[in-house]
Amino acid sequence: MPRMATRTPSADARTGEIVHTNDAAPSSWGLGDGAAIPWEYAPAPESRDVVTLKERYGLFIGGRDVAASDGGTFATINPATEEPLALVARGTPADMDRGVRAARKAFRRSWGSLSGRERAKYLFRIARILQERSREFAVLESMDSGKPIKESRDVDVPLAAAHFWYYAGWADKLEYAFPGRVARPLGVAGQIIPWNFPLLMLAWKIAPALAAGNTVVLKPASTTPLSALLFADVCQQADLPPGVVNIIPGPGEVGMSLVTHPDVDKVAFTGSTDIGKRIAKGVAGSNKALTLELGGKAANIVFDDAPLDQAVEGIVNGIYFNQGEVCCAGSRLLAQESIVEPLIEKLKDRLATIRVGDPLDKNTDVGAINSRAQLEKITELVAAGQAEGAEMYQPACDLPARGYFFRPTLFTNVAQSHRIAREEIFGPVLSVLTFRTPDEAVEKANNTPYGLSAGIWTDKGSRILHMVRKMKAGVVWANTFNRFDPTSPFGGYKESGFGREGGMHGLHAYVRLEDR
Ligand code: NDP
């Protein structure tokens, strides 16, 4: 079967500009004399019609859509076009108090005393509605966050629904999850989520909390409030008792008023290490339970016996998935010295095929960076990498004229001391370091204040087990990367936070265990 001609970027000798030509087709294809065939992906945009955007979104408190106490609003924009999508009510500390009171009332009057079997019915219903409305959620998520539709459609939304299915299954089986103990709900959970996986992080937080009998007040990130507000609609559609779930967008400081609210029993946060530390201080001295899922600087370690083509796919998935805006992204590639050259060559070839652009186009691999601020942070760190002497490679690809886009970037000649090897960039930027022995790989991989995830690529099972034991990371993937499953716990060590989400461990974070 003939292969498609591929795009080959090269510099125009006259103007110096990057141009795209196409490899000549072999004459045996019957397409002529081997002259270049003009070939390009046709645009394949997902329709926006499935989403009905409201002009204004309110706060979701006590089962109702309400305005902010001071009437304030803010605009949420599409990072791929810089166009405003909608106005959203801007919650205040008074609104957080309203939300917590509604959640407490629901906990006392309905949810806290409902049987596990009844709670499960609601969770199953939510899961099913999420599946039924999956296209609507996927398109809205891509519009509000900038992530490619193929990721929101195939990863974020199905996984969010899977979390509700999974925890629905546990709701009436807590005695099996914690044998010999009685699991009581904690009460009201205050939850703050980031912008990189808005709906999925909501599901990670709300599903186990509800399964265990808690009620929640959730603050979404200011750049991505829309899927959480659409989820409010799902709660109404599922007839969830009012106040069990409350969703209050608002600025970061308003999040702090949720954290320090005296009637909140449990705080769950995903976001930056910096804010995580502030939240830990805000909770200190109280009886509140706390889980923190913070940043990372994962090492993706490739040994010389690894299948290189497979490893290249894992490296690309590890760092360019969701524009690299992933806490567990494999942002440091540790390559064994003997294979570094062929590996980099293959990586560069692969990078040339990555398509950056419209998040709603089904062919897009890398969408828009979530916000101007995040784009500036990435740009600043990439400039620091160049200034510190690392060698930068970016494939020649055209970026849209508007919107926050960044080329997939690869740095070689990176030293451990470089900022790009130490700091979380949260963008499509890979730093390549090398090692000679497994011990050196372990030392370099663990030489970070973070400890969220790691990857190992090798043909030897014994080496995988040896490395996994030495890795100071909450999740270690072997011959794969960025795999998520609701049954599997996820969380970090050191500055990546503490507590686990997912699996039975995720339930544990929302219960108080008593003796029978
Ligand atoms: P933040 O940690 O500031 O944001 C995460 C969430 O916390 C958002 O809902 C945010 O609200 C809220 N928040 C902000 N300030 C406070 C506060 N004082 N008290 C309570 N809640 C608060 O992350 P950024 O958006 O600023 O991103 C900065 C960097 O953090 C990124 O470049 C990346 O390195 C890292 N990050 C890591 C994530 C992870 O999954 N581990 C996720 C997101 C970012 P609001 O949106 O209104 O500011």
Q: Tokens for 52?
A: 């009905």
State whether the beta carbon of 151 lies less than 6 angstroms from ligand 1: no
Nearest CA to ligand 1 atom 38: 271
Nearest CA to ligand 1 atom 27: 272
Distance from the CA of 145 to the center of ligand 1, in angstroms?
A: 14
For residues 294 and 154, give the distance between their C-alpha atoms in angstroms, rounded to a whole number. Answer: 24
Expressed in angstroms, the distance from the first to the final Cα of the chain is 67
Residues 218, 212: contact at Cβ < 8 Å? no
293 flagged as catalytic: yes
For residues 480 and 310, give the distance between their C-alpha atoms in angstroms, rounded to a whole number. Answer: 9
Single-letter amino acid, residue 52: T
Single-letter amino acid, residue 220: P
Element (DSSP H or E) covering residue 376: helix 372-387
DSSP of 301-347, one letter per residue?
Answer: EE-TTS-HHHHHHHHHHHHHGGGG--TT---EEEEEGGGHHHHHHHH
Residues 339, 329: contact at Cβ < 8 Å? no
Tell me the residue ranges of DSSP E strands in 280-361. Answer: 289-293, 299-302, 332-336
- What pairing do the DSSP bridges indicate for beta strands 73-78 and 475-478? unpaired
DSSP of 140-175, one letter per residue?
Answer: HHHHHH---HHHIIIIIHHHHHHHHHHHHHHTT-HH
Residues 512, 496: contact at Cβ < 8 Å? no
**What mean pLDDT value characterizes the chain?**
93
Single-letter amino acid, residue 155: V
Tell me the residue ranges of DSSP E strands in 475-510. Answer: 475-478, 497-498
Distance from the CA of 295 to the center of ligand 1, in angstroms?
A: 10
State whether the beta carbon of 426 lies less than 6 angstroms from ligand 1: yes
Q: Which atom of ligand 1 is nearest to the CA of 274?
A: 2
Sign of the Cα pseudo-torsion (277, 278, 284, 287, in order): negative
For residues 181 and 20, give the distance between their C-alpha atoms in angstroms, rounded to a whole number. Answer: 65
Residues 503, 484: contact at Cβ < 8 Å? no
CB atoms within 10 A of CB 252: 13
Q: Which atom of ligand 1 is nearest to the CA of 259?
A: 20
The active-site residue, picked from 151, 235, 325, 327, is 327
- pLDDT at residue 41 in the model: 84
Nearest CA to ligand 1 atom 28: 272
Locate all alpha helices (DSSP H) within 43-133, ordered by sequence: 93-109, 116-132
Sign of the Cα pseudo-torsion (154, 308, 3, 395, in order): positive
Pocket test for ligand 1, best of 226, 272, 369, 420 (most atoms within 8 A of CB): 272
Distance from the CA of 272 to the center of ligand 1, in angstroms?
A: 5
State whether the beta carbon of 270 lies less than 6 angstroms from ligand 1: yes
For residues 120 and 238, give the distance between their C-alpha atoms in angstroms, rounded to a whole number. Answer: 12
Q: Tokens for 64?
A: 């109702």
State whether the beta carbon of 221 lies less than 6 angstroms from ligand 1: yes
C-alpha to C-alpha distances, 244 to 113, 198, 229, 386, nearest whole angstrom: 12, 19, 15, 50
Nearest CA to ligand 1 atom 29: 272
3-class DSSP state of 48: coil
For residues 332 and 433, give the distance between their C-alpha atoms in angstroms, rounded to a whole number. Answer: 7
- What pairing do the DSSP bridges indicate for beta strands 56-57 and 59-61? unpaired
Q: pLDDT tens-digit profile of 254-288?
A: 999 999 999 999 999 999 999 999 999 999 999 99
Q: Tokens for 241?
A: 């008792």
Describe the crossing of helices 461-470 and 438-446 by its angle, rounded to 10 degrees. Answer: 40
**1 burial type by CB count under 10 A (0-12 exposed, 13-18 middle, 19+ buried):** exposed
Residues of the chain with pLDDT under 50: 1-24
The neighbouring-strand residues paired with 302 are 335, 457
